Amino acid sequence: MNFLKGKVEKGAFVLGSKKLPLKDYPAIAMRDGAAELGVRPEHISVNGQAKKDYTDPIAATVDIVEPMGSDSLVWLQVEGQQLSARVESSHLFRPGEKTQIRFRPALASLFDEATGDRL
């Protein structure tokens, strides 16, 4: 799982200069403050079409591409943090390439940064 440091602010996760609404996140007691957003590599869409319930596009730069047979693990820099995304091997990415990612907040996990508790 990728862990991105940021903060929760008024129902959104703030990641650097991006504000990601968490309207579909099933948190009962979501509270403002420092947090980490956990997103699995298979739940990240790289350079994909807009889909219902996904975030707006977030700028990313390809860092490393690891071919793994039927899929590849693509390491990306996003707002000064690194994350990985699993993509079909037919999608060719090159280090340094600019791209965009999206994910569904409902499939993410939000953690209180101080306690590590899932929100």
Write the pLDDT tens digit of every residue in 76-116: 999 999 999 999 988 889 999 999 999 988 899 999 888 88
Confidence of residue 119 (pLDDT cuts 50, 70, 90): confident
* C-alpha span between 110 and 6 (Å, rounded): 10
DSSP 83-102: EEEEEETTS---TT-EEEEE
CATH of residue 11's domain is 2.40.50.140
Domain around 57: 2-112
Count of domains for the chain: 1
Write the pLDDT tens digit of every residue in 30-71: 678 899 999 999 999 998 766 788 888 999 999 999 999 999
